[in-house]
Amino acid sequence: MLACLIPAVAGAVARFPKPDFTSGYQYPEIVHGVPFETLWSWVDVVLLVVMMGVVVWAVYYNPNLASNPNFNPNPNGWLSKEKRSRVAVVAVSVVSVLYFGFFRSGCVCSVGAIQNVVLALTDSSYHLPWVVLLVFLLPLVAALFFGRVFCGGVCPFGALQDLVNVRNLRISRAVSGALSVIPWIYLAFAILYAATRSQFIICRFDPFIGIFRLGGDVGMIVFGAVLLLLSVFVGRPFCQFLCPYGALLGLFSRVARRKVEVTPHPCINCTLCHDVCPMDAIRPPEANKNPEHRQRGMKRVLLYMVMLPLFMVAGALLLASQSQTLSIAHKDVRLYTLLQHADEPLAEVEAFHEMGRSEEELKVKVEEVQRQYWIWSLVAGGLIGCVVGIKLLSLTLKRTRKTYEVDASACVACAKCFNYCPQNKKIN
C-alpha cells in the first residue's frame, strides 16, 4: 500500500561543508511511504452505497420482514423469526462502527463533508475530492427516494448510539419541538466558519471522533463519553438535537418517494412503536381538542407568514452586527489581535516577526476576512431567522391524526418499531 514519490525540496543553510568521506561511506537511501489513500476512499464509497442498499432492502423490500405485506415466513430460514427482523440493520450498524468508525477513524464523514462542500462552492482555490462529494451527495439522494436510510445504521455516529441504547426516556414534546432548531443553527454556523476558511467546527466539535481514534482532545472525548452514556437512556441524542446533516436529510426525506411505514396492517393505537422509537418520530393520534374559530387560526398562520421575512432580516442583521466578534475564529484576525495586545512575547508573535511579515499586509488581509465575515454572517443569520420562522409557522399548523403516524423527516429507518408492532405478528 505504499507509493514512492518525487519529493519537493526546501533549502537549508550550509554552515558546515559536506563531509568528504574516505571510508567509502554511502548516504543511506530513505523512502518515505504514503498510504494508498485513493483505494480506501473508494472502498468507503462502495461500502456506503452497499450498506445503504442493505438498509433499504431491510426496511422496504425484505420479504422476511414482518412489516412487508408479502410477509411469508419460512420457518427454516434464518431470517424468518420475527425477532430477527432488525438483524440486517444491526449488522450494518456493527460493520459501520467497526469500519467507518474505528478502522477509518470516522473521517471523512457525511456530516463533516457539508463544510468541504460549502468551501468548494465559495473558494475556487479549494480542491473538492470526488470521494467527499459522493459521501455528501449519496445519502441525500438516498433520502430523496427512501428517507434517512443513511442515519439508520450506515452513519457510524448513529450506529454507535443505537447499539448502546436500551431505554427511551423522553423530554416534553414542547421542549424538544423548540430544540429542533439547534441542528439548523449549528449548520448555519458551520457554513459561516467554513465559507470564511476559519474552522471546520463540525469536525472540531465532533463528539465521537475521539472515541473512534482512541485519543485526541480530552474535552471532546469526555463530551463523547457523556453523550454515549446519555444515549443508553435517551435514543440518539446527537441525531435528535445536534446533527446538522440529519437536519438536511430530514428536509429531503420529507418529500421522499417512499416513506417508512410501521405496518401495512391497520394501526390499533397500542403506543408500542411510539415508545420504542429512538427519534420520537412516531406521532400519536390527535383529536383537535380545543376547537378554535377557523378564521382565528388562519389569521395566526398569516401573521407568522408575514413575520418570516422579518425574522430573516432581523437574524441577518443581528448576526452581521456580531461579525467582528465572530471573526476572531479566523487565524489571521486572532494573530492581528495578538499583535496589538500581546504584552509577553507569544510564540505566534515571535514567529510573525521572524518570518518578516509586515503588519500592514496582515491588516489588509484581516480587513478582507472581516468583510467576508460580514457577508457570510448575513447569510447565516438569515438562515437562522428563516429556520426559526418556519419552525414557528409549522407549530401553528393543526393536523388531526386518527392513528400513529411516522414523521418522515425524523424517522431514521432503524426498523426498531417493526417487531414491536403487534399487527406485524399477524400472518397473512
Residues in 57-96 at the binding interface with another protein, rule: CB under 8 A: none
Show the site string, 286-325: x = touches another protein by CB under 8 A, - = not. Answer: xxxxx--------------------x--x---xx-xx-xx
CA quadruple 242, 248, 254, 260: dihedral sign = negative
Measured from the CB atom, the residue of 72 and 126 that comes closer to another protein is 126
- Binder among 84, 254, 265, 363 for another protein (CB under 8 A): 254
Interface with another protein in residues 160-189 (CB under 8 A): 164, 166-167, 172-175, 177-178, 181
- Binder among 75, 76, 257, 340 for another protein (CB under 8 A): 257
Residues near another protein (CB under 8 A), total: 122
Q: What would the grid cell of residue 349 be?
A: 508573535
CA distances from 344 to 36, 113, 338, 348 (A): 45, 39, 10, 11
Please report how close the Cβ of residue 76 comes to another protein at its closest, in angstroms. 26
Measured at the CA of 375, the angle between CA 372 and CA 379, to 5 degrees, comes to 130
Please report how close the Cβ of residue 354 comes to another protein at its closest, in angstroms. 6
Interface with another protein in residues 184-223 (CB under 8 A): 199-200, 203-204, 209-210, 213-218
Q: How far apart are CA 109 and CA 150, in angstroms?
A: 11
Amino acid at 235: G
- Binder among 13, 75, 76, 427 for another protein (CB under 8 A): 13
Interface with another protein in residues 40-59 (CB under 8 A): 41
Q: What would the grid cell of residue 366 be?
A: 484581516
Helices (H), 215-358: 218-233, 237-241, 244-253, 272-276, 294-321, 323-326, 331-341, 347-354
- Binder among 54, 188, 388, 414 for another protein (CB under 8 A): 388
Query: Is residue 103 close enough to count as binding another protein by CB under 8 A?
Result: no
Measured from the CB atom, the residue of 217 and 264 that comes closer to another protein is 217
Q: Which stretch binds another protein (CB under 8 A): 7-15, 59-67, 87-95, 150-158?
A: 7-15
Task: Find out whether 414 and 356 touch, Cβ atoms under 8 Å.
Answer: no
Measured from the CB atom, the residue of 12 and 427 that comes closer to another protein is 12
Q: Which stretch binds another protein (CB under 8 A): 33-41, 56-64, 67-75, 93-101?
A: 33-41
Show the site string, 405-424: x = touches another protein by CB under 8 A, - = not. Answer: ---------------x-x--
Please report how close the Cβ of residue 90 comes to another protein at its closest, in angstroms. 12
Q: Which stretch binds another protein (CB under 8 A): 61-69, 70-78, 111-119, 146-154?
A: 111-119
* b/e burial code for range 65-85 (CB count within 10 A of at least 16 → b): bbbbeebeeeeeeeeeebebb
Measured from the CB atom, the residue of 317 and 375 that comes closer to another protein is 317
Q: How far apart are CA 154 and CA 16, in angstroms?
A: 57
Residue 258: phi and psi, rounded to 5, are: -120, 140
Q: Which stretch binds another protein (CB under 8 A): 11-19, 53-61, 63-71, 88-96?
A: 11-19
Query: Is residue 19 close enough to count as binding another protein by CB under 8 A?
Result: yes
- Binder among 348, 362, 363, 365 for another protein (CB under 8 A): 348
Please report how close the Cβ of residue 95 comes to another protein at its closest, in angstroms. 19
Residue 2: phi and psi, rounded to 5, are: -115, 145
Task: Find out whether 267 and 426 touch, Cβ atoms under 8 Å.
Answer: no
Query: Is residue 362 close enough to count as binding another protein by CB under 8 A?
Result: no
CB atoms within 10 A of CB 308: 16
Task: Find out whether 142 and 56 touch, Cβ atoms under 8 Å.
Answer: yes
- Binder among 295, 296, 343, 356 for another protein (CB under 8 A): 356
Residue 196: phi and psi, rounded to 5, are: -95, 10
Cα of first residue to Cα of last residue in the chain, in angstroms, is: 53
Please report how close the Cβ of residue 58 comes to another protein at its closest, in angstroms. 20
Measured from the CB atom, the residue of 36 and 61 that comes closer to another protein is 36
Residue 324: phi and psi, rounded to 5, are: -60, -45
Please report how close the Cβ of residue 196 comes to another protein at its closest, in angstroms. 13
Q: How far apart are CA 250 and CA 408, in angstroms?
A: 7
